Amino acid sequence: MKGVPCLLMRGGTSKGAYFRAEDLPADAAERDDLLLRIMGSPDPRQIDGIGGAHPLTSKVAVVSPSTSPGADVDYLFLQLGVAEATVSDRQNCGNLLAGVGPFAVERGLVPAGDGETTVRIRMVNSDSTAVARFPTSGGVVEYAGDTAISGVPGTAAPVVLDFADTAGSTGHGLLPTGHLVDTVDGVPVTCVDNGMPVVVARAADFGLTGYETVEQLKADTALRERIQSLRLRAAELMGLGDVRDSSVPKTTLVAPPVDGGTICTRTFIPLEPHTSIGVLGAVSVATALLLDGAVGHELAKLPGTSRIDVEHPTGHLQVEVEVDAGETPPRVRRSGVVRTARKLFDGTVFPR
């Protein structure tokens, strides 16, 4: 049986298998078939593979030297289905992104800097750029540090991520429907895409407080059906077509903050409740909140600085977003976030 070199990493609040592109088949269909066998999909338990039986742990990063002059490496993100044999390149992942810079150093794609390393990453899924900054010393990545992120026990070294050109990651602009607010299934929504296409709606419009636990949301089958109907219809308006088999758009239900943050969120990826919230998902929701008249703007306690504190089921995710809201359409000036990442296992993975 032929094995494949693989580095298993936690990136932010997700976990994934990181590969050099040259170690995988060049043909996308062959590559996807191999990755499904590596992860153990389709199977709700992924028992015969290295996937963790949840969308947040069924993820792959494919990294290669960049073909673009403005970047050091190319990062292709692939979301693998758990119970379904699906592989989607239709979304970014800002969490796995946190591990891409360290992976590039581990594999010798980028030399380690003295004290700190900066890696310019082209996010192939959206053709946008992120710059990652993280500590290195003596030529190796330092994973230990004192930065805590909600949803991950303990602390680790910070990975600072700055995004450029993330607005309109699916090619339909920051407000993909062309409107600040649309009504879908009788519910007002703001469809936004600053790195991740998200349908933002008020939890109250679904008869929820917005403070439910993940278990409560998971048990609510009627809610699951409503979310599916909402996202299928919203996706048509967003120019995404039939998204029945796609992991995007996500849906985020918002409510007033309860823990000193800017807004409280419950996110569905796309139907499974997220235990926290995705990075670019949070950046996109935060961007919507900054737009006067958008759904959620009236519920948010905006801080008057660029730091937006997004409450989620397991804590807070702080993102930085600056928008020229006066322009039509609004222009994103800057966005960023601090994450951590950790090398978990380096070796050879054997597909089924």
Smallest distance, ligand NQM to C-beta of residue 123, A: 10
Amino acid in the structure at residue 209: T
- Torsion, CA 317, CA 320, CA 324, CA 329, rounded to 10: -50
Bridge partners, 273 (sequence order): 268
- Of 88-96, 104-112, 173-181, 226-234: span binding ligand NQM (CB under 6 A): 88-96
CA distance 282 to 102: 23
- Point out the residue whose Cβ comes nearest to ligand NQM: 278
Nearer to ligand NQM (CB atom), residue 49 or residue 273:
273
Q: Per the structure block, which two tokens stand in for 137?
A: 């010393």
Q: Does 13 bind ligand NQM (CB under 6 A)?
A: yes
Q: Does 196 bind ligand NQM (CB under 6 A)?
A: yes
Assign 3-class secondary structure to 194-227. ECCEEEEEEHHHHCCCCCCCHHHHHHCHHHHHHH
The residue to which tokens 């308006």 are assigned: 237
- Of 110-118, 126-134, 205-213, 278-286: span binding ligand NQM (CB under 6 A): 278-286
Among 52, 176, 257, 278, binds ligand NQM (CB under 6 A): 278
Q: Does 280 bind ligand NQM (CB under 6 A)?
A: yes
Smallest distance, ligand NQM to C-beta of residue 92, A: 6
Q: Does 262 bind ligand NQM (CB under 6 A)?
A: no
Q: How far is CA 81 from CA 32, 44, 87, 198, in A?
A: 11, 9, 6, 19
Smallest distance, ligand NQM to C-beta of residue 133, A: 18
Amino acid in the structure at residue 304: G
> Helix, strand, coil: what percent of the chain each, to 5?
20, 35, 45
Among 36, 60, 93, 294, binds ligand NQM (CB under 6 A): 93
| CB contact at 8 A, 109 and 61 | no
Nearer to ligand NQM (CB atom), residue 112 or residue 269:
269
Smallest distance, ligand NQM to C-beta of residue 172, A: 17
Nearer to ligand NQM (CB atom), residue 136 or residue 250:
250
Q: Does 78 bind ligand NQM (CB under 6 A)?
A: no
The angle formed by the CA atoms of residues 333, 338 and 341, to the nearest 5 degrees, is 135
Q: Does 336 bind ligand NQM (CB under 6 A)?
A: no
Phi-psi category of residue 304: left, alpha or beta, with phi > 0 → left and psi -120 to 50 → alpha = left
Nearer to ligand NQM (CB atom), residue 60 or residue 196:
196
Among 41, 58, 95, 136, binds ligand NQM (CB under 6 A): 95
What residues make contact with ligand NQM under the rule CB under 6 A?
13-14, 55-56, 92-95, 196, 247, 250, 269, 278-281
